Amino acid sequence: MAVERLFKDEATEEKGERARMASFVGAMAIADLVKTTLGPKGMDKILQSTGRGRSVTVTNDGATILKSLHIDNPAAKVLVDISKVQDDEVGDGTTSVVVLAGELLREAEKLVNAKIHPMTIISGYRVAAECARNALLEKVVDNKQDAEKFKSDLMKIAMTTLSSKILSQDKEHFAKLAVDAVMRLKGSTNLEAIQIIKKPGGSLKDSFLDEGFILDKKIGIGQPKRIENAKILVANTAMDTDKVKIYGARVRVDSMSKVAEIEGAEKEKMREKVQKIIAHGINCFVNRQLIYNFPEELFADAGVLAIEHADFDGIERLALVTGGEIASTFDNPESVKLGQCKLIEEIMIGEDKLIHFSGCEMGQACTIVLRGASSHVLDEAERSLHDALCVLSQTVNDSRVLFGGGWPEMVMAKAVDELARKTPGKKSHAIEAFSRALLAIPTIIADNAGLDSAELVSQLRAEHHEEGSAAGIDVISGSVGDMAELGISEAFKVKQAVLLSATEAAEMILRVDEIITCAPRRREDRM
């Protein structure tokens, strides 16, 4: 007898063909959504939230677009995740990874319709990905030893990364900023030390890099505006008048003079705390919480610069950069590690006053100040710059470099095609499909630029038939160009991550043969 019902009411299940169909369609839809943002001529998307304030984001960063979408389709969620991971791991290539996975699934769908088992397709894809990676490894250039060449490599990579973003018009300026900032890090991938401050006003060209650290605060009244050889205590402690801090405590007094006594005691307590803080031998005190007038006055009398309400991001970074620790008790000064820097002064950017710490303990520290027409422009500029910084800091560690502009995909496709010819059996169809999926990336780059993609990609293919060709798509002139002359480079690490993540994600979605959605939980009628 057949089992009538296995699941609760409202639970749905889809099996076999339908499940596979649903996951393919979802994944391809996501890939089509972001594919118009790929390449130097990619367009932006406006994302509008329905929450309070209806905030608007304008972006063409694949990860940002996908992160903001609420998606129901389970296969599409897998693609969103790989783009997130790509963003955390290497910073760039977030769109490429989704597009490549989508193309792999599009090819897989044709094969499944031709009655080839998903497992055969998967094993073909596996072999093809390995072959593609080896093809790239043979072609990488590594200029780690030659500092001059390596720096020009970094500049090229930064300019290639930025050319598909909002900063493409001033890409040389920003590439220089990013390379300088990353060179300061001396090989660490900790981007905490690079602080990005956004100040509306001016144009993007007015952005600059400043060594040291800038805190977005004003200096209090009657306090020294400039301190040399500063010793900084970074703290997170309450500096409002110490009231009786017991919830619901009441004090009954029988005369006004007693109230005055209580106030006097409170003031004494505060004065003692301030004395303890000054006893550390500091001349700058940065607190995360607010500082009342009375302690501020005491600090000013002692010639100590007191900064209140330094937001948490700022204070953590300040502690990191000056080499101090965040303190909250001040009874034993010897155990507290103070931060140091050569000079603290007040500077003006646009209309705002900020505090500038220069000559910090951690030499790597620097601040990039972005200027721009509006907050949306600034947000997008920050995202673009962050992508460039991530890629560069990864490249400093893994200094292998490839050409860009669809060149790596052509190299991989050529190698994979050759492998397909040598492979017997059904697997060869899957390997061939893989090479077709790789060709989709240069095709899309050309399509987005409004060029004749079929013509260009077939020209490219012919060019790549010769060994050691550096041909790629030059979208500016709309023809096949020499990537070595144009200086279009990409980091090997980014390409490798795109290739492997996309293959694994496609593989995972291919394995699905059933989708079960559980029934929503019902609220019991509490009558």
CB-CB neighbours of 520 under 10 Å:
9
* 21 vs 351: CA distance, rounded Å: 57
With CA atoms as reference, report the closest residue to 406 among 134, 82, 96, 157: 96
* 229 vs 231: CA distance, rounded Å: 7
Q: What is the DSSP string of 460-489?
A: HHHHTTSTT--EEEETTTTEEEEHHHHT-E
With CA atoms as reference, report the closest residue to 223 among 84, 344, 371: 344
* 278 vs 161: CA distance, rounded Å: 48
> Terminal CA-to-CA distance of the chain, rounded, Å?
40
Q: Residues 200, 378: contact at Cβ < 8 Å? A: yes
Q: Which 8-state DSSP code applies to residue 220? A: P
Q: Residues 162, 390: contact at Cβ < 8 Å? A: no
* 133 vs 279: CA distance, rounded Å: 61
Which are the catalytic amino acids?
A: 61, 94-95, 387
CB within 8 Å of 480: residues ≥ 6 apart: 456, 459, 460, 463, 471, 472, 473, 474
* 94 vs 67: CA distance, rounded Å: 11
With CA atoms as reference, report the closest residue to 165 among 44, 80, 63: 44
CB-CB neighbours of 326 under 10 Å:
20
